[in-house]
Amino acid sequence: MSSLIHDAYPLYLEVMKEDSAIYAVELENISKTFAGGVQANKNITLRIEEGEVHGLLGENGAGKSTLMNILYGLLSQDEGMIRIRGEEVSLRSPHDAIARGIGMVHQHFKLIPTLTVTENVILGLEPIKLREPVKIETEDYEDSLLSKVKKATNTLVGAFRQLMPTDISGAAERIKRIAEENGLNVDPYARIQDISVGLQQRVEIIKTLYRDADILILDEPTSVLTPQEVDELFVTLDKFKKAGRTIILITHKLRESMALCDRITVLRDGALVGTVDKKDTSPQELARMMVGRPVVFTTEKMPSMPGDVVLKIENLHVDDNRGLSAVKGVSLEVRAGEIVGIAGVEGNGQTELVEALAGLRKPRQGRVFIEGIDITGRSVREIREAGISHIPEDRHARGLVLGFSIRDNLALGKHYIEPFATGPANAILNFDSMADHSERLVDMYSIKISDIEASASTLSGGNQQKVVVARELSTNPKLILAAQPTRGLDVGATEFIHKVLINMRDSNTAVLLISAELDEIRNIADRIAVIYDGEIVAFRSPEETDNQELGLLIAGHKRDEVEEVPQQ
C-alpha cells in the first residue's frame, strides 16, 4: 500500500500543479494604507484565470489602480501575498513584474513626446549593434591565464555595452512586426508628439508586447479615445484573447465590461464587493454593486425654457497648432436656460473652438459675444470675469496644477479676489477662506481625498476631474463651457454631474456641452449641433434623432444621405 502511495505521489503533485496553474494571477488578502490614513485596499482576494479578460470595476477612488500598481510592482502591499501562475513572488519594482510577463498600460501614458515610437518602446531595453560577438574559448582549468583573460574581457564588454551604437533599425523592424501581428499598425519612426492619442495608446501596448508580456493590465484604456479608436481597441483586445493572453481591464464603464470581459470583479471603497460572470449579470446590477444603490441612466429633466442669448458666435475661424484651419466659419447661439450639445468625433475642431471661446487661442476671423458684449480675443482672466467657466477636456494640461494642493486648485481663477484674497491690493491669500470653500466642495461633490492640503497629483483621475468640475460650477457663471465634463468619471459621478448641469440650466445658466459620447449628448442636451471637419453640419433635437443618425452625421455623411438610411 505504501509503495502504491509512493508511486502515485508524483502524479498527485503534477495534478495539483496543473490545477494551480489555471490562475495567471492570485492576489490574496491584499491591504494597502497610504500616508494620512487612507486605506486604498482592504483585504482583497482576487484570482485571474489564464487567458481570460477580467474586468476590475469600481467608482473613482475604489482602489482599482492601487491594486494593479501593487501587481505591477509600482507599490508594495502592507499585507497579503501575490502568486503568478502558482509561484509566490515578491514584486519590488516593475522590472520584477516585467520579468514575470506582466505589462501595464497606464491611464496617463508614460511616453516622451520628442522621441520616436521606436525610441520610446526600447527605452531601458536598448538593443546594441555588435559586428562580431566576442568569443574566447578555454579548454583547460578555470584558474588558467586564458580563463582569467576571458572573464576580464566579458566584464569589459558588459561595461561598455552602453557606449555601443543602438540597433534602432533592428528594433523598428521588430516593432513593425509586433504591430502588424496584433493589429496595432503605427509608424515606428513617427514622433510621439505628432501622432494621435489613440496611436499613443497603441505604442504603450506595443511596449508591453516588446517585453514579451502575456499578462496585460489596461488602466482605463478608453478614457481618452474617440468612439472609433475605442472600437479599434476592442478588436485588438479580442485578438489578444484569441492568442491566449490574460487581460486585466481596469474600468468604471459598464459598456466596456459587458462587451469585453469574461468575469468582472467589483470594488467599492477599497473593499471587494464580489466577482461575477458576465453572462450572469447586467449593467444595472453592476452599477448597483459599484455605488451601493440603483443608478438612473437617463437623467430626468423638465423641458427647457430658453431666455435671452448669452453666447453668440459669428463666422468664427480658428487655426490649430500647425497653422491649419480647424474651425471654419462656425456660427452658433446658446441661450440662458438651455444646454446646447456639440456632437462630433474628436479632432474635428471642437478643441480649437472651445479654446477660442475660453481665451486660450486667438481666432483668425469672426466674433464672440457674451450678452451682447464683444469678447473676441480677450485674455483668459477677462473672459472668466465676463462670467464664463471652462471645464477643459485635458484636466492635466488645462484644469489643474498637479503640484498644488487640492485647496489651492479649488480656489484657482478666483484666488486674486475676495474672499480668497485680502490685505492691500488683495495681495495676501486668505487660506482659511480657501480651506472652508474647499471642504464644502469636497463634501458636495464626494471627492475622495486624504486631506485638502494633499497635492492634486495624489488623486485618482476621476477625483481630479471632480476637482475641476466642482471649481468651475461653483462660480455662478453665465455660461459654462463643458468639454468632456464626465471623462474619467464612474456612473455615479456621471449621474451627479449631469444633474448639476441640468440644475445650472434650470437656474438660467447657458451651457455649451462638448462630448464624444452620443448617449451623454442625447441625455442632457436641449439642442444638438453636429460638427464635422470644423463646420456645424446639422442641428437636431434629442427627441427627434437617434445614435444611428448622429453617428452618420458625425462621420461626415450629408443630410440627404442620412435621410435615405432607414431609421430603426
* Pairing mode, strands 39-49 and 23-33: antiparallel
Judgement on whether residues 258 and 317 belong to the same structural domain of the protein: no
Judgement on whether residues 348 and 495 belong to the same structural domain of the protein: yes
**Residue 365 counted as domain residue:** yes
**Residue 512 counted as domain residue:** yes
**Residue 342 counted as domain residue:** yes
Cell of 355: 479654446
Q: Which of 260, 291, 322 represents a domain boundary (last residue)?
A: 291
Judgement on whether residues 336 and 219 belong to the same structural domain of the protein: no
**Residue 74 counted as domain residue:** yes
**How many other C-beta atoms can be found within 10 angstroms of the C-beta atom of residue 165?**
10
Judgement on whether residues 487 and 553 belong to the same structural domain of the protein: yes
| Contact predicate 39/77, CB 8 Å | no
Q: Which of 244, 261, 291 represents a domain boundary (last residue)?
A: 291
Structural domain containing residue 553: 309-387+477-564
**How many other C-beta atoms can be found within 10 angstroms of the C-beta atom of residue 133?**
6
Report how far residue 429's alpha carbon sits from residue 244's, in angstroms, rounded to the nearest whole number: 57
Report how far residue 461's alpha carbon sits from residue 375's, in angstroms, rounded to the nearest whole number: 33
Report how far residue 538's alpha carbon sits from residue 66's, in angstroms, rounded to the nearest whole number: 44
Per-residue pLDDT tens listing for the chain (568 residues): 444 444 443 443 344 444 444 799 999 999 999 877 778 999 999 999 999 999 999 887 788 989 999 999 999 999 999 999 999 999 999 999 999 999 998 877 889 999 999 999 988 766 655 444 444 444 444 455 666 666 666 665 555 555 556 678 888 999 999 888 888 888 999 999 888 777 888 898 999 998 889 999 998 887 667 666 777 888 888 888 888 899 999 987 788 888 889 999 999 989 999 999 999 998 888 888 888 877 666 777 888 899 999 999 999 999 988 888 999 999 999 999 999 999 987 778 998 999 999 999 999 999 999 999 999 999 999 999 999 999 998 888 889 999 999 999 999 999 999 888 888 888 899 999 999 999 999 998 888 888 899 999 888 777 888 899 999 999 889 999 999 898 777 777 888 889 889 999 999 999 999 988 888 899 999 999 999 999 999 999 988 888 788 888 887 776 555 444 333 3
Rg of the chain taking only CA atoms, in angstroms:
28
Judgement on whether residues 556 and 484 belong to the same structural domain of the protein: yes
Q: Is 554 left (phi over 0), alpha (psi -120 to 50) or beta?
A: alpha
Report how far residue 310's alpha carbon sits from residue 481's, in angstroms, rounded to the nearest whole number: 12
**Residue 121 counted as domain residue:** no
Residues facing 374 on adjacent strands? 369
Q: Which of 229, 262, 291 represents a domain boundary (last residue)?
A: 291
Helix (H, G, I), strand (E, B) or coil at 219: strand
**Residue 276 counted as domain residue:** yes
Report how far residue 370's alpha carbon sits from residue 292's, in angstroms, rounded to the nearest whole number: 42
Report how far residue 123's alpha carbon sits from residue 107's, in angstroms, rounded to the nearest whole number: 19
Give phi and psi for 151, each to the nearest 5. Answer: -60, -45
| Contact predicate 328/533, CB 8 Å | yes
Please, which residues have CB within 8 angstroms of residue 515's CB and are 6 or more apart in sequence? 341, 342, 343, 484, 485, 486, 521
Query: Nearest to residue 211, comparing CAs of 102, 319, 350?
Result: 102
| DSSP symbols for 447-504 | ---S-TTSBGGGS-HHHHHHHHHHHHHTT--SEEEEESTTTT--HHHHHHHHHHHHHH
Judgement on whether residues 222 and 368 belong to the same structural domain of the protein: no
| Contact predicate 70/41, CB 8 Å | yes
**Residue 37 counted as domain residue:** yes
Please, what is the end-to-end C-alpha distance for the chain in angstroms? 72
**Residue 54 counted as domain residue:** yes
Helix (H, G, I), strand (E, B) or coil at 137: coil
Report how far residue 5's alpha carbon sits from residue 410's, in angstroms, rounded to the nearest whole number: 70
Report how far residue 546's alpha carbon sits from residue 518's, in angstroms, rounded to the nearest whole number: 9
Judgement on whether residues 274 and 338 belong to the same structural domain of the protein: no
Judgement on whether residues 365 and 262 belong to the same structural domain of the protein: no
Judgement on whether residues 224 and 352 belong to the same structural domain of the protein: no
Cell of 110: 508614460
Q: How many distinct structural domains can be found in the chain?
A: 2
What pTM was estimated for this model as a whole?
0.69
339-358: burial string, b at 16+ Cβ within 10 Å, e else:
bbbbbbbbbbbbbbbbbbbb
Judgement on whether residues 283 and 322 belong to the same structural domain of the protein: no
Indicate the Cα dihedral angle 483, 484, 489, 492, nearest 10°: 90
Report how far residue 165's alpha carbon sits from residue 168's, in angstroms, rounded to the nearest whole number: 9
488-526: burial string, b at 16+ Cβ within 10 Å, e else:
bbbbbbbbbbbebbbebbeebbbbbbbbbebebbbbbbb
Please, which residues have CB within 8 angstroms of residue 340's CB and are 6 or more apart in sequence? 332, 334, 510, 511, 512, 513, 525, 526, 527, 528, 529
Judgement on whether residues 274 and 332 belong to the same structural domain of the protein: no
CATH at residue 231: 3.40.50.300
Judgement on whether residues 248 and 366 belong to the same structural domain of the protein: no
Q: Which amino acid is at 444?
A: M
